[in-house]
Amino acid sequence: MPFTYDDQNIFAKILRGEIPNSTVFENDHALAFHDINPGAKVHVLVIPKGPYVSLDHFAAQATAPEQVGFMAAVAEVCRISGVEEGFRAIANTRAHGVQDVPHFHMHIIGGAQLGRMLPGD
């Protein structure tokens, strides 16, 4: 499937330094920062620095160093965020997944007991 990246999305602007962010961790391939509207005690977003719109775009087309760098950032965020008791990783994707920002991001959510993910679970 074709993936089209809009470089005017808010996370692209964060990566270009055009708007501020509260950085948690950064490496060559990824940036992690606090969600501006946290849904839990810990709510960090991890984004690749490359122009990928979604998890499936990133998984299909990111280079091996980009994928390794991204997962290394996830590991570091988990290590430093106090989620030893557990957390949830979410990548909302396109319309059905209710993705608001069209730059791939992984939510790392935790710091306290979470509810079930879906109604009826």
Q: CA-CA distance, 101 to 93, in Å (whole number)?
A: 9
Structure tokens at 120: 């009826």
Residue 21 binds to ligand AMP (criterion: CB under 6 A): yes
Residue 36 binds to ligand AMP (criterion: CB under 6 A): yes
Residue 93 is which amino acid?
T
CB-based contact 109:90 (threshold 8 Å): yes
Name the one range near ligand AMP by CB under 6 A: 24-32, 55-63, 75-83, 92-100.
Answer: 92-100
The verdict on whether 103 is a catalytic residue reads no
The site for ligand AMP, by CB under 6 A, has a size of 12
Q: Show the binding pattern over residues 44-73: x = contacts ligand AMP (CB under 6 A), - = does not.
A: -x----------------------------
Q: CA-CA distance, 53 to 45, in Å (whole number)?
A: 14
DSSP 5: -
Structure tokens at 53: 């719109």
Pairing assessment for the beta strands 23-26 and 30-34 based on DSSP bridges: antiparallel
Q: Show the binding pattern over residues 99-118: x = contacts ligand AMP (CB under 6 A), - = does not.
A: xxx-----------------
Binding site for ligand AMP (CB under 6 A): 10, 21, 33, 35-37, 45, 92, 98-101
